[in-house]
Structure 1
C-alpha cells in the first residue's frame, strides 16, 4: 500500500512539475515562429478570431470565410456575405460564427462536411437588414451571444432574443464565465440575469475602445485599451497599470490580448507585433516583423491546447511555439554562423564567422543586444575556458579574452582550431592549428605559447589525446606519440579499421576520460601493449538504438551528444541514477541548420544549453522537455471512394462503410493537430485485409489503394511527433462488396445454374442418346437399304451388263451372220451372173435344130434358170445387210462429212470391207474404171491427197 501511495505521489509530483514547466515563456531568445500566408490557406488577408475544437483542429474567422487547419491541410467554408468576424466552438463541436448581416453555426453532415446553418431567420427578415457586423461571439451558460454595435442576439433553445445596447456597444468579453460589454456612454457593463450592470469607474473608457478584458490577480480585471494603455479594474474602481508593458501599448496601440498559463500576458499591438509580459508588466518577449513576424498588426491571439500561441494578423496567420524547450537567437540578434560559445565572467561569448560577440548573461536577451568585441574580426573557430581564462581559436591566431575585451595573443603566426587539456600533464595545453599542433604552458606570467610540435603538420579541430598519444582522424586515424618534452612526435602510426568486419574508424572522441574509436555505432578502446582495438560492450550498448553517428562528445554535465546524418543531432541525457535517456526527436527541428563538421554544443548548466547553427544560436532547456508528453492524436482525415468523400476527421464516429465493387479504388488523407514541428510529423498505416505489416514512417499524408478485392478492411493510422511519441491508432472499417458475379447470391445462382445445367445436360444426353439410337437405327436401316439398293443396282447393272454382253454377242453373231450373208450374197451374185451368162449363151443356141424332147428339156431348163434369176432378191438383201453391219461407221462418216452421197457411202463401206476393185465393180454394176473414178471422187470429198491411204483413213473413222 505504501509503495502504491509513493508511486501515486511521484506521478503527481511529476505531473505538477510538468504543469509548471509546460508553458514557460523563455527570456533567452525567441520561440520558433511559423508564418502562414494567404497563398497557404487560400483565404483573405485578415484573421479576426481563432478557435480550436476538441480534436485539436484550428479555426480562423477570415475575411473570406471560416478557415480550418488540421495540422496538415487547410480548408475554407463560406457564409453569406463571406466575411467571418467572430467564432466560438461549443462542447458538441458546433462552430458559431458571426459576419456581416449574418450569424449562425457550422455542423458536420453525415459525410463530415461542414454545413452552415443560418439563424438570422429567427429574428425576421426586417431585422436581418440591420444586423451589421457581428464583432464578437460568446458562449455563456449554454447561450450563444452574437454582439453587434447596437444589439446582441442571444440564441438558446432554438430561439433568438435581442439585447438592446443602452447607447452603443463597442466590444464584449467573457472573463471567468461572466459576460462584459463596453458601452460608449456607460463604460463597462456586466451582464447578469439578463441585465446590464455598470462597473464602477469604467466611464473613463468612453473616450477609447476597450479591445481586451483579461482576468488578473485578486479577482481584478486587466483592461486593455486601444490607445490609452493598460488599466486594473476592481470593486473600488479603475487605475492605470504603470509598467513596461503599458509603455509599449501606449506607444503602439493594442488590439487585445490573452492570458498564457496563468503566468504571462500576451498583448497584441497595431504597430509593433506582440509582447509577452509577466504579471508585473515586465516584457519577457517582444516579437515583431524584424524577429520573424510577417505582419506587425495582430488582430487576434489564441492559446491552443498545447499552450502555444496563434496570431491572427492583418495579413496572414502566425504560430509561435512558446511551449518548446528551444528558443532562437538569430539574425535579429546580429549573429551569423556560430562555431562555439561559452559563459565567462558574467558574459555569454559567441564565436562566429564574423568574429566574437558577447552578451551580459544576467540581462534580458533583446534584439541587437549582442556586442561585438573589437579586434576579433574574422573567423572564430572556437571559444573555451581553461583554468579561469577564456581562449579563442581564431583564423588570425590564438588569443585570450578577459574583461569583456580581446586580450593578448598567445600566437598570431598561424590560425588555430581547438585547444584541449593533456591528461596527466597539468599546466600544459595542446592546440591544433593550421600547421599541426602546438603546446601551451602556464607560467607565472600566465599562459604562453611554448612550442610547435615537430614531426607532423596535419591537424583537425576534432582531435583528442590520452596524455601519451594524440589521436587524429584525417581519412585514416593517426596515432601521434608525444615525446616526454612535448616537442615532437616520436612515432606516427595509422589505422583504418578497428578490426573484424568493420570497414573503418568513423570518429575519435574523449568520453569519461577515455579515448574511444567509433565504427558503425560500436565503440573501441586502444590497448597499447597489443597495439589493437578492443570493443567496449557497455559503451556500444548505449548507442544500440541510436542512428548511425558521425561523431559524439561529452559535455561538462556528463551528457553525451551525438551527430548523425547531415547536421542532425541527439543527446543521451544523463539521469540521476547513472542511466541515460535518449533525446533525439526534439532536435529534429535543427536538422540541416547546424554548421556541418563544426557543430558546437555548450552546456552551461542543466537549464541552459547553447547550440550553434548557421543563423545564430539556439537555446535549449531540457528541463522544459516533457518527460511524459501526451500522445499525439492521429486522424484519418478523409476517406475518398468512387467520386465521394467522407471527411472522417470531422465526425465523432464513423460507421462501417459499405462500398460497391466499382468503388474499390480508395484514398485516405491523414492529419494530426501537431503544430510546433509540422515538418517532423510522420505517419504509418496498415490496411488490415490487404497488408499485414505497418508501413515505414513517412511524411506523406496521403495513401491510395487501387483494385482492392471484395472483403472487410480496417484502415489503421499512427502518428509519431517530433518527440518520438507514437499515437494510438485511428481506425476506419469498410467493406467492399464483391462484383455481381462474385456475390453470394451469384454463387447460389451459379450452384443452381450448374445443377440445372447438369440436369439439363444429362437430360439432353439421354435425349441425344435416344435420338442417336433412333438415328443409328435409321442410319443402319438406311445403310441396309442403300446396300440392298446398291446390291439391286449392281444386280441390275450386272443384268444390264449381261444383257449388253448378250446384245453385243448377238450383234456379233448378227454381224457375223450379216458378213456370212454378204459373202453368200456375193456368191449368189456371182452365181446369178454365171446363170445370166448361161442364159445368154442358151439364147445363142439354135433351138430349131433340137428335137422336141431336147427342146422341151432345154426350155424347161431355160425357164428354171430365168425363174431362179427372177425370184432371187439377194442383191437387195446384200445392200441391206451391208448397211446393218456398218451402221455405226456410216453414221460417223456422215457426221464428219455431211456432203457425202449414199453411193459414196456404199463405196466407202465396200472399201472398209477390203473388197477388190473387181468385186466392187460387180456389186455396183460398174466397170473397173468406174470404180477408180468413184475412188478418186471419194478422196476429194474426204480431203485426202494422193499420198494418203484411203482404206486406212476409213478404218480410223
Structure 2
C-alpha cells in the first residue's frame, strides 16, 4: 500500500511539471453531413495525387480539399483498410481485396480476389490491414495473411487469432489477441524472448523513434524494446494512456508522438519540451474514440474517429486558446504572464494559470485593453483602470472605459483614451497621478503624439481632433481636422503610428497631416500598398497587422518595401471583434484576441503560400478536360486543388474571360452558370495581399444552344428548303391556276369584247345606216320640200296666169296682169330664209366639213354645193338662187375650179362623198 501511494505521489509530481498546455493546434472537424458517408473511419492515407483517402465502412472516401467523393465496392461490403502504392489505392474488405485507380475524375475498382477461392466459407474473414514488405503487398485478416506479388497470391494461415501485423526494421511482427507478439520469418513465427508481458493484451502499434522500438498495447500502455526484453515507457503520460485505451499511435518528423485512444481523444506528446496536449470533446474534438491516424505532406494530422474525421494542424505556426466553457465570453485583449495568461473580456479580467480560470476581484464587467509597461499590466475597464503586477491587482482610477493606452513618440508620457476624453500619465511609476486634457469631454477611441504640446484624438464615432495645449496641459485649441479637410465620411477614424509618423485611416484611405495647410493629405506610400484596409494594429516599428477584405495579414516593413504574410481566414472566420483587434507581443509569439479565445502566432512565422494548383472541372458529373466543350446552359464546377490543407494553403482568386475584377475562390470551388456560347477562360491567381501571381488556368468552350447545333441548323435548312420548295410548288401551282384563270378570263373577256365589239359594230352600223338613212331622208325631204315649193309656186302662178288669160282680153293689160301674177307668185324673201335655214340645219355636218376643207368658199358657193348634193338640176337651182340657168352653169364651172376638180370628176359625186 505504501509503495502504491509513493508511486502515485511520484506521478503527481511529474504530472505537475508537464501540465497539459492550454494552446491547441487548429482543428477542422468533418461529420457525416459533410462527407455523406458512414460513421467509422478505419484507415486514413494521402495519395500520390495529394488527396486524402478514408476507409469508411461501406465507402471509400476521397477528399482533395475542395470536394468529397464516396465510392462503394461492387459487393457493397465494409472497407476496413486501405494502402497507397503508386497510383493505386489498395483496399481490403469482407472476403475481398483489390485496388482502386482514378480515371476521368472518378475512382474505378479492380478486384484481385475475384473468381479465386481464397477464403474459407466457415470463416468471416475481413482484411483489417494492408502493408508492403519485400516488394509484395500483404493483406491481413484475423486468421490469415495473403501475400500478393502482383501476379500470384500466397496464403499463410495462423493457428491463433491475430489483431495486427507490423513492419519494423525489415521484420514483420504479428500480434495475437491472447498469446502476445510474434516475429515472423517466412511462414514461421516465434515469440521474442522477454516479451511475455504482452500476452493477453492487444498490441495496436509498433513504431520506431530515434533507434528505439515502441510497442503500444491497448490497456497496458507503452513499452520500449531493449536487449533484455521490454521496458515500460517511463513517463507519467503512460499511466493516463492505460486508462484511455490506446487504439493507434504514430511518431511525427518533428519529434512528436501522436496517440489515438478509445475514450480520451488524441494525445500529442512533444519530446523536445516534455509536454503533451490532449484534444478531446472537452475542447475541440468531435469524438473521443480515435480509430486511425494519418499524415499529409505538411506533416499535419488526420484522425479517423468512431464518428467523423478530424484534421489537426500540429505542424502549423498557429495555436489556439479555446474557451468552450463560456466563462470568458468575448476576449478583447490578452497578455502573457509568467505562469499563464491575463485576459480582458466582456465578463471581466481573468488569470489563466495551471489550466484554471480565476476572475480577479471587483473586475466583473467589460474590460477593454491590456498594455504592458515594464512589469506592470495596465488594464482599461468599464469601471476604471487597473494595474496588475506580480499577481496583485490595484485600481488606478475610476474614470470609465479605458479603451487604449499609447506612448508618446517624443517622451515617456502615456495617453489613455476613455469614454470621457484623454488621460495623461507623466510618470508611469505614479499611475494614480494623472491629468485630464480639457475641452475634449467626449468618447475618444485612439490617441497619439509626435509633437510637443499637441495630440491627435479620434472620436469613437466620427471625427479627428488636433488638440494643442500648454506645458500645464491647459487646452489652447481643439480643431476638427476632418471637418477642416472637408472629409465627409469620417466615421471610425483609426490612428496608426509608423516610424515616428502618425497616419490616419479614414474610409479606407490613408492620410497624414500637412501643418502648412492645416489639413489632411493622402499618403501615397500607404495608399499604393494598402488598399481596402478596414483595420490596422501596430506591433512595433517594423511590424503591424492589417485587415483587408476580411483577411488578416502580418506586415513586415523592410525599408519602403512591405512583406505580406497571410493569416488564413479559416483560423478566425466569424470570430474577429470588429474595431477591437489587439495584438500582444511576447518573446516568441503574437497573441490575437477572438470572440471565443485567442490565437498564438509564431513571431518567425513566414507563410510561403504554395503556388501549385491544378484544376479539375466537372460538367453534369463528368470531368471536363482543358480546351474541351461543355453543353450550353449547364453548370460548370471548377475545382482549384492545391493539395495543401494547412497553414500554407494559398489564398486564391480568379478572373473569368479577362475580367478586370479578381474574385475570391470560396472553398476552392468556382461555380459558373449562364455562360454564353463560345470560348471562355478561367485564370487562377495566388494573392499575398499586395500582388496577384498566376498559378493556373483553364480554357473551355460552351456549345451553341441545342437549337443552334449542327443537326438543328441542318434541320432548319431542311425545313426552310422544304418550305421554300413547297412554297415554290404552291406558287407555281397558284401561278398555273392563275394563268388558267387569266386565260379563261381573257378568253371570256375576248368573247365579251368580241360580242361587245360585234354588238357595237352592229350598233354603229345600224347607227351609221340610220344616220345615212336620216341624211338621205333629210336630203330627200329637202329635195321634196324644194321641189314642192317650186311646184306649188309654179302651180299657183300658172293658175293665176290661166285665170288672167281667161278674164282679160286686152293684150297689154293681159301682159301687165301676167307680169304682175308672176311677180306676186314669186317666193318671198321670208319664206326663202326659212327654207335656207332648214336646209342648213339638215346639211350642217356637210357644210362644216366642206368649210374646213375649203375655207375659201363663199356662202353662195356653199349654197350651190348643198343644192348639188341634193341632186338638183341647174334649172331647179336657178330660181332657188334667183339666177338664170346660164348663171347656174357658170357658177358650177367656177365652183369646180375652187374645188380643184378635173374635168373627168363628177361634181355631184364629189360632194356626196364628203
- The alignment's TM-score, normalised by the length of structure 1, stands at 0.68
Asked if the contact 2:46/2:52 (under 8 Å) is kept, the reply is yes
What is the CA-CA distance between 1:771 and the residue it aligns to?
13
For 1:625, which of 599, 602, 606 is the aligned residue? Answer: 606
Equivalents in 1 of 2:281, 2:246: separation in Å?
16
2:604 pairs with 1:636: no
Decide whether aligned partners of structure 1 residues 425 and 125 sit closer, same or farther in structure 2, where only a CA change above 3 A counts.
Answer: closer
Which stretch of structure 1 is more off in the superposition, 348-357 or 38-47? 348-357
What is the CA-CA distance between 1:126 and the residue it aligns to?
6.2
Asked if the contact 1:600/1:612 (under 8 Å) is kept, the reply is yes
Decide whether aligned partners of structure 1 residues 387 and 677 sit closer, same or farther in structure 2, where only a CA change above 3 A counts.
Answer: closer
2:449 pairs with 1:465: yes
Decide whether aligned partners of structure 1 residues 671 and 175 sit closer, same or farther in structure 2, where only a CA change above 3 A counts.
Answer: farther
For 2:696, which of 726, 729, 735 is the aligned residue? Answer: 729
For 1:40, which of 31, 34, 38 is the aligned residue? Answer: 34
Equivalents in 1 of 2:391, 2:675: separation in Å?
71
After the TM superposition, which residues 177-216 of structure 1 pair with which residues of structure 2 at under 5 Å, given as runs? 179-184=172-177, 187-191=180-184, 196=189, 199-216=192-209
Equivalents in 2 of 1:149, 1:337: separation in Å?
52
Asked if the contact 1:104/1:117 (under 8 Å) is kept, the reply is yes
What is the CA-CA distance between 1:346 and the residue it aligns to?
6.7
SS, match of residue 123 in structure 2: coil
Equivalents in 2 of 1:683, 1:550: separation in Å?
20
Q: What is the match of residue 572 of structure 1?
A: 555
What is the CA-CA distance between 1:33 and the residue it aligns to?
1.5
SS, match of residue 120 in structure 2: helix
What is the CA-CA distance between 1:297 and the residue it aligns to?
1.0
Equivalents in 2 of 1:89, 1:777: separation in Å?
93
Q: What is the match of residue 703 of structure 1?
A: 671
2:282 pairs with 1:313: no
For 1:254, which of 231, 241, 246 is the aligned residue? Answer: 246
Decide whether aligned partners of structure 1 residues 65 and 792 sit closer, same or farther in structure 2, where only a CA change above 3 A counts.
Answer: same
Once the two structures are superposed, residues 773-827 of structure 1 have per-residue CA deviations (whole angstroms, 9 ceiling, x without a partner) of 9999999999777755654565567789999999xxxxxxxxxxxxxxxxxxxxx
Q: What is the match of residue 592 of structure 1?
A: 574
Asked if the contact 2:25/2:316 (under 8 Å) is kept, the reply is yes
For 1:73, which of 54, 67, 76 is the aligned residue? Answer: 67
Equivalents in 2 of 1:128, 1:734: separation in Å?
55
Decide whether aligned partners of structure 1 residues 356 and 777 sit closer, same or farther in structure 2, where only a CA change above 3 A counts.
Answer: closer
Decide whether aligned partners of structure 1 residues 279 and 429 sit closer, same or farther in structure 2, where only a CA change above 3 A counts.
Answer: closer
SS, match of residue 336 in structure 1: coil
After the TM superposition, which residues 111-150 of structure 1 pair with which residues of structure 2 at under 5 Å, given as runs? 111-124=104-117, 127=120, 130-140=123-133, 142-150=135-143
Equivalents in 2 of 1:34, 1:86: separation in Å?
23
Asked if the contact 2:381/2:401 (under 8 Å) is kept, the reply is yes
Equivalents in 2 of 1:779, 1:177: separation in Å?
113
Decide whether aligned partners of structure 1 residues 202 and 609 sit closer, same or farther in structure 2, where only a CA change above 3 A counts.
Answer: same
Equivalents in 1 of 2:408, 2:574: separation in Å?
33
Q: What is the match of residue 423 of structure 2?
A: 438
What RMSD, in angstroms, separates the aligned Cα atoms of the two structures?
4.5
Equivalents in 2 of 1:619, 1:282: separation in Å?
20
What is the CA-CA distance between 1:370 and the residue it aligns to?
4.7
Once the two structures are superposed, residues 379-402 of structure 1 have per-residue CA deviations (whole angstroms, 9 ceiling, x without a partner) of 322222335433222233223222
Asked if the contact 2:424/2:436 (under 8 Å) is kept, the reply is yes
Equivalents in 1 of 2:69, 2:296: separation in Å?
19
What is the CA-CA distance between 1:306 and the residue it aligns to?
2.3
Q: What is the match of residue 93 of structure 2?
A: 99
SS, match of residue 121 in structure 1: coil
Once the two structures are superposed, residues 193-229 of structure 1 have per-residue CA deviations (whole angstroms, 9 ceiling, x without a partner) of 56556545434322211111112112x3211111111
Equivalents in 2 of 1:574, 1:680: separation in Å?
22
Equivalents in 1 of 2:349, 2:275: separation in Å?
28
- The alignment's TM-score, normalised by the length of structure 2, stands at 0.71
Once the two structures are superposed, residues 397-420 of structure 1 have per-residue CA deviations (whole angstroms, 9 ceiling, x without a partner) of 22322221213x332365533333
Once the two structures are superposed, residues 624-646 of structure 1 have per-residue CA deviations (whole angstroms, 9 ceiling, x without a partner) of 433x3322534325222xxxx32
SS, match of residue 199 in structure 2: helix
What is the CA-CA distance between 1:311 and the residue it aligns to?
1.0
2:684 pairs with 1:718: yes
Once the two structures are superposed, residues 914-934 of structure 1 have per-residue CA deviations (whole angstroms, 9 ceiling, x without a partner) of xxxxxxxxxxxxxxxxxxxxx
Equivalents in 1 of 2:25, 2:85: separation in Å?
30
Asked if the contact 2:105/2:622 (under 8 Å) is kept, the reply is yes
What is the CA-CA distance between 1:303 and the residue it aligns to?
0.9
Equivalents in 1 of 2:626, 2:390: separation in Å?
72
For 1:667, which of 636, 639, 645 is the aligned residue? Answer: 636
Asked if the contact 1:680/1:699 (under 8 Å) is kept, the reply is no
Equivalents in 1 of 2:704, 2:190: separation in Å?
64
For 1:518, which of 500, 505, 511 is the aligned residue? Answer: 505
Asked if the contact 1:106/1:116 (under 8 Å) is kept, the reply is yes
What is the CA-CA distance between 1:231 and the residue it aligns to?
1.3
For 2:654, which of 684, 692, 695 is the aligned residue? Answer: 684
Asked if the contact 1:634/1:729 (under 8 Å) is kept, the reply is yes
Q: What is the match of residue 868 of structure 2?
A: none
Q: What is the match of residue 609 of structure 1?
A: 590
Q: What is the match of residue 411 of structure 1?
A: 397
Asked if the contact 1:639/1:646 (under 8 Å) is kept, the reply is yes
SS, match of residue 84 in structure 1: coil
Q: What is the match of residue 948 of structure 1?
A: none
For 2:379, which of 392, 407, 416 is the aligned residue? Answer: 392
Give ranges in structure 1 of 5+ residues lacking alignment: 1-25, 361-365, 649-653, 807-957
Q: What is the match of residue 928 of structure 1?
A: none
2:536 pairs with 1:549: no
